[in-house]
Amino acid sequence: MAESKKILIAGGTGFIGKALVQELRQGGHDVRILSRKAEATNVFAWNPDQGEIDVAAFEGVQVLINLCGSGIADQRWTKERKKDLLASRVGTNAFLFSKIDHMPHLEQFISASGINAYGFDSADEQHPENDSFGTDFLSDLVKKWEKSADDFAVKCPVVKVRIAVVLGADGGALKRMLPAIKLGIGSPLGTGKQFMPWIHSSDLVGIFIHSIDQQLNGAFNAVAQCDTNRAFMKELAQQLKKPFFFPAVPSFVLRAMFGEMADVLLKGTSASNHKIIETGYSFMYPSLAAALKSALSS
């Protein structure tokens, strides 16, 4: 078993956070959580918007993980929403860094990041982590997000986990996709040719733990595979034994509904997982069929 660490997680009560906390504790680690409501043991209050935090949370901390970030596709991208998307990522990293003097034993900082770092394209080429950032809004958001994480490099190694579409039973992308499929009206979006990089929630948790155990440093694509939107939706329908014959949802309909945010649905990117595999990580769910079967049966 890996050496037990004192770990502090911001965003530890969310979809991924809960699963990560559970696995880390089962692995023997001393895990604390930062939450806006400190209602349980080892949960410490903070409000980064107001600059408030219980500094007792930092005592003896060796690994700090920040999973915070408002949902990219939760709301239409108004000017105010874009500010919130930035503040919930860059702002929380910056606030935690401002408390660096309270963490003399810090050995590693791990920040969530996004797979949408490389811009949107339709090329079959899979982007490695050293490819340049794109020029669209999401790419710029990821660039600023990771820059704020890199502030911690003056103190310790920094890991940036570029998260793909997460497949899990308790949240993530499937929660939104399932209603239409279950009604038998599932269909591709736009051309359906755009790539959807995805990862099973268990593998995402596994990569965070692997990053700690192997004392990793740098950016890593957390992606198991990249399938086209059409292939993804078809496989999901097949898993649920539902028909898949409706015509694709036209791009103009999605743009009318979601505005600029429709880019997340209509445009794709393809990213490589070779770097994380080369560190010794082995995916539990490397195929879409297996990942969906697991997520849907949980």
Report which of 115, 132, 150, 143 is spatially closest to residue 267, judged by C-alpha positions: 115
Report pLDDT for 12.
Answer: 92
Residue 281 dihedral angles phi and psi, to the nearest 5°: -80, 135
Q: Is the model's pLDDT at 243 over the cut of 90? A: no
Domains and CATH numbers, the chain: 6-297 (3.40.50.720)
Q: Is the model's pLDDT at 1 over the cut of 60? A: no
> Coil, helix or strand for 29?
coil
In 10 A of CB 101, how many CB atoms?
9
- pLDDT tens digits for 78-136? 999 999 999 999 999 999 999 999 999 999 999 999 999 999 876 678 999 999 999 99
Q: Is the model's pLDDT at 178 over the cut of 90? A: no
Report pLDDT for 32.
Answer: 97
pLDDT-derived band of residue 246, with 50, 70 and 90 as boundaries? confident
Amino acid at 82: K
Lowest-pLDDT choice from 101-110, 259-268, 286-295: 259-268
Report pLDDT for 64.
Answer: 98
Buried b (16+ CB within 10 A) or exposed e, 7-42: bbbbbbbbbbbbbbbebbeeeebebbbbbeeeeeee
Mean confidence (pLDDT) of the chain:
93
Side-chain-side CA neighbours of 133 within 13 Å: the count stands at 18
Q: What percent of the chain has pLDDT over 90?
A: 78
Outline where the chain has alpha helix (H).
15-26, 79-86, 92-97, 137-149, 174-182, 201-213, 229-239, 251-258, 263-266, 274-278, 288-297
Bridge partners of 216, per DSSP, are none
C-alpha distance from residue 201 to each of 114, 138, 171, 190 (Å): 15, 22, 9, 26
In 10 A of CB 79, how many CB atoms?
6
Report pLDDT for 104.
Answer: 97
Lowest-pLDDT choice from 42-56, 159-173, 198-212, 218-232: 159-173
Distance between CA atoms of residues 147 and 117, nearest Å? 12
Contacts of 198 (CB under 8 A, 6+ apart): 164, 165, 166, 167, 173, 223, 224, 225, 226, 227, 232, 288, 291
Distance between CA atoms of residues 170 and 115, nearest Å? 21
